[in-house]
Amino acid sequence: MASRTPSPRPVGAVTRGTTNPNRLRRMDRWIAAAHGPELRRSGDPVAVDLGYGAAPWTAVELLGRLRTAAPAAEVVGIEIEPARVAAAKPYERAGLAFRHGGFEVPLPDSRRPALIRAANVLRQYDEGEVAGVWARLCGRLAPGGLLVEGTCDEIGRRHVWVALGVEGPRTVTFATRLGSLERPSDLAERLPKALIHRNVPGEPVHAFLRDFDRAWAAAAPYASLGARQRWIKAVRDLSADWPLADGERRWRQGEVTVNWAALQPRTG
């Protein structure tokens, strides 16, 4: 009998696996709004939920939210821990599958994903490893594809993510449940790995959060109209000095998206 060639070892490390239903709702809704048109145009609108964790909730929810924007969308959940894949298999159905793998993003039939979402995956890695992981994941994308990589708290109230195309990082999005926000810099604890250690004086992300706090304080009179109106006012004032990539429709959701070039870490 011919010997069987072993499968390549998945690239990456096992994460804690912490997950909760609805944890990634803010990221999912942004993806559906920002990338939905590209998914609808795609001849193979397959999305990858990379490192979905100990339970498959985030992959199940991603499929439902993407299909509001792209009815033909499919989702493949990929996990480096085999036991998590086995536990997710009973949830498979048309358009939803689970596979063992890592940053190599193994998909059958040489498929290339139109979307890779990697939430709360890179927190355990060194900052110096992020660029290489980003490049590897972006190299797996289909033309016009998007990588969304970021971090959120355990119940999804605060979330920050970077959106990348095949050319590299494009934007950074800050999203929050406005009723629980004391000041915008509260989001600093959820900065993705590429930025969290750069929230220090002299770095652009620190200056951005400083200016955001000042705009939030100046918008205090709008608090009587509700936290949403205060946020919109603060973001509108912030846009005078920072290159924002969205508008009031997204601001009303408790979001603001900034061009990556304005926040990227200084070299050295």
The CATH code of the domain that includes 151 is 3.40.50.150
> Domain count of the chain?
1
Judge whether 139 lies within some domain: yes
Whole-number Å distance between alpha carbons of 35 and 52: 20
Residue type (1 letter), 262? A
Q: Quick check: is 16 in a domain?
A: no
Q: Identify the H or E element spanning 77.
A: strand 74-79
DSSP 24-51: THHHHHHHHHHHHHHHHH-SS-EEEEET
How many CB atoms lie under 10 A from the CB of residue 261? 11
**pTM of the model as a whole:** 0.94
State the residue range of the domain holding 162. Answer: 24-261
For residue 2, tell me if it sits in a domain.
no
In a domain, 98, yes or no: yes
Alpha helices (H) along the chain: 25-41, 57-67, 82-88, 127-138, 193-196, 204-218, 227-238, 248-251, 260-263
Q: What is the pLDDT of residues 23-54, one digit of tens each?
A: 999 999 999 999 999 999 999 999 999 999 99
- Strands of the sheet with 74-79, listed across from one edge: 96-100, 74-79, 46-50, 115-119, 146-152, 158-165, 168-176, 255-259
pLDDT per position as a tens digit, 74-132: 999 999 999 999 999 999 999 999 999 999 999 988 899 999 999 999 998 999 999 99
